Structure 1
Amino acid sequence: MNMSNINSTRKSSYSHLSATERGEIAAYPKMREQPVDIARLLGCHCSTICREIKRCSVEQVKDKNGKQTFFNAYFADSGQRVYETNRQKSSYLKLNGCSTRFIAQLESALTANIRLHSVDSFVQTYKVNHPEEVVPYTKTIYRYIKEGLLAIKPIDLPKMVSIRKRSKKVMKTNKKTLGKSIEERPEYINDRSEFGHWEIDLILGKKTKGEAVMLTLVERQTRYALGVKLEDKQSQTINRAVTHLISQYPIASITADNGSEFSLLSTLEAVDVYFAHPYSSHERGTNENFNGLLREYVPKGISLNPLTSEELDNYLTVINERPRRLLQYQSSTFLFELARTT
């Protein structure tokens, strides 16, 4: 029978091979069909057939006249078994197949007023602590949230909420660097190989007279953050706060932007101070990222005057103790204390 005479209809959309189709793949080579012909007959892409054969072939031995010949043969049952195993590990694991305890704790943790975890850090931490339970991948949890399958809403996770694209700003020029340029910053600071080098920034509340501000510093290697509420953003106020922090923490250098509020930092003798290029916030990306995390608790446009020191300390503690992927799921607090004592 010439199998090439059989008409087939190409699948309208992608779907996995069935057990029957795997049986046909196993039968076709015996009839001298090539992968491209098998793909046409089954109505799928040639690469699908090639991957399936490569992934599920088993080495065989043929003995002819006392001479052994090795060859690879595709077996349908082997292919189906591999598929079912991979499906169990797949990110498309059905919600009802997940650990109910995991789902309950995930929803509780991520809808808390002050949450310790991100989706990713919760998933990874839970997997380590409960290796026997079925836990989906991080991207699967985000899919569940988008599909409304969980009690967690996108608004509970600010990073999921789409942000209106800002209009492109015209780059300004001729703003002078206040002191030592970031271009003079040593490589051991740039590559984060040495502990004790910080980035500094201000978080503003309402842009009105008499409004409090928040000074933030982030250690570049461990991402450990400090925060202080200040009555104003005068350069003298900033310097007094930084001087106090230098006496309390291992601060070897500070990288700031060119805002006038930081104009007196270069007068500090205890630390090296570097200034980023004008309008280049990406050069202080560590601090900018932290500010984004803090904005979850202190949104833009609200007054900082009612913010208490206790509330700020709670926010800092939660962020510093959050396991983070870029830190191999260790917390900034743990790494900071480790570096500080060694």
Structure 2
Amino acid sequence: MRCPFTNLTLDERRVIARLLQAKVPKTKIAQMLGRSRSTITREVKRNWWHDKDVPQADGYWHVTAQSQADRRRSRRRKLERLPDLRAEVIHCLQEGWSPEQIAGRLRIEPGAPHRLCHETIYQYVYSAEGQSAQLARLLPERRRKRKPRYARTPRNRVFPAETSIHNRPSEINDRSQFGNWEGDLMIFERTQGDANVATLVERKTRYTVLLRNNDRKSRPLMNRLIHEM
């Protein structure tokens, strides 16, 4: 039985380094440590040492891996350790700023004493402290939980109750009023390229508009929909 998730210890990293040098598969290492294979794979990938000057020194070294992990945790704790910075970030969130905008502003603000990565802000928002303060409600796009950068896009989005489809006015439900549109998006396999098709259907007349897009990103699509409407 695997143990509940906790951060890898220096001793565990020492074992990983020794077994990797012995060419032991990651699946076997995970079994020996009582960890999931994904935990071991992620650990090795994140803390693999790359030396530009001495490529022969590349590898997974347990002391270096521990130092890198400690450095990342220290960055995540920056908002917990610095009350002034935390208050400024929360104020900006309340004003409608996104974490990307806040981090970008701190980088160019003259005399700013601290800088933050937007991922650090997201991690704080979805931490236990951030959840208790309901900071996720302040994000432009809110999710039940935060997944790391480059992870798969979460499918379960959280929408405010007032915008739920179940609360739409009766004239929209019974299609008695002109001017209410439904939108949908058809995205194809990656092998087919970035092209996708958006549909707009007017509920009363069923008048339909089909839009071809050549970009899978949300902003170009939204700009196209705004332009067409």
Normalising to structure 2: TM-score of the pair? 0.47
1 or 2 for the larger relative contact order (CA 8 Å, sep ≥6)?
Answer: 1
Q: Which has the higher helix share?
A: 2
Q: Which has the higher strand share?
A: 1
Normalising to structure 1: TM-score of the pair? 0.34
